[in-house]
Amino acid sequence: MIRKHKALPYALLAPAFILFTLFVIAPVFQAAVFSLYKWNGLGPLSDFRGADNFINLLKNAVFKKALLHNLWIIGVSLAVELPLALAIALVIGRSEFKLAVLFRTFFFLPYVLSEIITGVLWQFIYHPQYGLVRSFFASFFPRLSAPTLLGNPDTVLGAIMVVIIWKYFGFHMSILIAGLQDIPKDVREAALIDGANGLQTIGYVVLPLLRSTIVVSAYFSIIGSLQVFDVVWAMGKGDPVNSAETMVTYLYKFGIQRLNIGFGSAVAVTIFALCLLFSIVYNRLTAEREGN
């Protein structure tokens, strides 16, 4: 009976572990092997190149631009998206806010839409001839023509960042609202009784207690920014002139579409290594903070 009891957890975990191994761990090692070859996906692996794919990748100007764009998306997500989500969460997360459920649903709806639908939708919004931007300029600036936001290399990345913020801030808002609900009301009330005003209560009571939730939200934001693909691809495939290229669109364009599977696998391994490195650093810093 004792042996059966000890074996039960392993038996229950076995199906999930098998699926995880087949569809996550095995493809990672397979991509690592492919990255060492020049291979078009057909025939045997025979043209061994070693680290040449990675060396060529690091020398590639388009990949460097794509990496820089991912870093810009991370910066905008942390500097704009998360503060916006926090501000809205502080307003509609209060129990006395009567329309809280309605507003939570309204702000969360963009996250429910698929990335492809979101990209196509905003393509129409940005369209310079019949989109919402065109209507705005026709109403308020009739003498000016609507800008071609997705066709201008100087504006396309900023236009896509607006879409990313619009789509994902509701997700972070929901996480922060869940964290706010875990803060006891007695703590806030005690601060107010001691003479703190609303801003002081938020700054000295709410935000310190919400720190772990904010850190988790920032983690999801950074990992998602490193892997962003669908929205960018649907809104122009990273063009014009690679002005909105990200690492994953670069992988798909220069690896999959051109049947350069070995080089594309090197890109995939690089993205995986960046995400893994960030996750290790994040977990170590989080563990040290909890230990202190």
The pTM of the full predicted model, rounded to 2 decimals, is 0.90
| pLDDT score at 4 | 60
pLDDT at position 48: 92
Which pLDDT belongs to residue 170? 93
pLDDT of 225: 95
> For residue 273, what pLDDT is reported?
95
Segment 199-244, tens digit of pLDDT: 888 888 889 899 999 999 999 999 999 999 999 999 999 998 999 9
pLDDT for position 184:
84
Tell me how far apart the terminal alpha carbons of the chain are, to the nearest angstrom.
Answer: 42
Query: Are residues 81 and 162 in contact, defined by beta-carbon separation less than 8 angstroms?
Result: no
Count CA atoms closer than 13 A to 165's CA, side-chain side: 21
> Residue 72: what pLDDT?
96
pLDDT at 41: 84
For residue 213, what pLDDT is reported?
Answer: 93
Residue 32: pLDDT over 90: yes
pLDDT on residue 75:
95
| pLDDT at res. 262 | 94
Residues 72-244: name the CATH superfamily. MetI-like (1.10.3720.10)
% of the chain surpassing 90 pLDDT? 60
Give the separation between CA 248 and CA 226, rounded to whole angstroms. 8
Number of CB atoms found within 10 A of residue 89's CB: 25
How far is the CA of 31 from the CAs of 70, 111, 268, 274, in angstroms? Answer: 22, 30, 7, 15
b/e burial code for range 195-213 (CB count within 10 A of at least 16 → b)? ebeeeebbeebbeeebeeb
Instruction: Give DSSP secondary structure letters for 71-108.
Output: HHHHHHIIIIIHHHHHHHHHHHTSTT-TTHHHHHHHHH
Q: Could you tell me if 206 and 87 are in contact, meaning their C-beta atoms sit under 8 angstroms apart? A: no
**Residue 96 confidence class, pLDDT cut points 50, 70, 90:** low
Res 3: pLDDT:
62
Q: Quick one: pLDDT at residue 2? A: 56
**Mean pLDDT of all residues in 180-201:** 82
Q: Where are the domains of the chain?
A: 72-244
DSSP code at position 113: S
Residue 100 has pLDDT above 70, yes or no: yes
Mean pLDDT score across all residues of the chain: 89
Q: How far apart are CA 227 and CA 139, in angstroms?
A: 38
pLDDT of residue 81: 95
What integer pLDDT is reported at residue 292 of this predicted model?
A: 56
In 10 A of CB 2, how many CB atoms? 6
Q: Which pLDDT belongs to residue 56? A: 94
Residue range 268-274: mean pLDDT, rounded: 95
What percent of the chain has a predicted confidence (pLDDT) above 70? 96
> pLDDT tens, 124-174?
999 988 889 888 888 888 888 888 999 999 999 999 999 999 999 999 999
